[in-house]
Amino acid sequence: MGDDAMNYRHFVLGLLAQQPMSGYDIKRCFESFGWLIHSPSFGSLYPALHALLEDGCLTMQVVEGESGLSRKVYSITEIGRQALEKWIDESMETDISLKTFLMHLMVADNLSPDTLLAHLKHRRSQVADYQTDLTQVDGPVGSNGDLGEQLALEYGRALAAAEMAWLDRKLNQLSRPSYESQIVEELVRSKLSVEQAEPV
């Protein structure tokens, strides 16, 4: 089974970990992000759902709608959650494609704050290595300074720089304590100061 098929299967698990959904609902989620991750067809989505059912990763329940039409609603099982966690953890052990990284971001609600930070840091390291490789290519690419290759190099450099800037911004934001946490800490400090100043 190809990497894309496996990624799609685990992405389905990530969606269902957030809430039960019908096959149609899952397909609509894929379509809404199709410009980023390329939406699979119904012909490939339903075999993936059936495989996940056979593996015990999902359960399926027929639900009657208000219009009298029934639909199959899929829910993730504990086995499915374990498979999802394994997919997320294994991606930290090697370089992953941009598509796989984006799939992880789309189901980030399933990640703990520490795991999300670790994924962003891992991606930053990967992009930094990519930038290093690109900077080692100096001047026109190819023996004849092919325009197409030069444009591709410039595009790659610009894309890597933009992604690195975004990653640095998000890592900075997510690493800081939230505004609410800061307020609570200030209130606690103020209360302690008042208590310590009161005569016994």
pLDDT band at residue 30 under the 50/70/90 scheme: confident
Residue 156 lies in a domain: yes
Residue 103 lies in a domain: no
Residue 99 lies in a domain: no
pTM of the model: 0.69
**23 and 74 share one domain:** yes
State pLDDT tens for residues 150-197. 888 899 999 999 999 999 999 999 887 654 455 455 556 655 554 455
Q: Which residue pairs, CB below 8 angstroms and at least 24 apart, start in 107-116?
A: 107/11, 107/14, 107/15, 107/17, 107/18, 109/17, 109/18, 110/14, 110/17, 110/18, 110/84, 113/174, 115/88, 116/174
Residue 163 lies in a domain: yes
Residue 54 lies in a domain: yes
- Domain of 133 in residue numbering reads as 112-189
CATH number of the domain bearing residue 9: 1.10.10.10
Residue 63 lies in a domain: yes
Residue 1: the pLDDT is 46
Residue 179: the pLDDT is 47
Residue 62 lies in a domain: yes
State pLDDT tens for residues 103-128. 888 888 888 888 889 889 999 999 99
User: What is the count of structural domains for the chain?
Assistant: 2
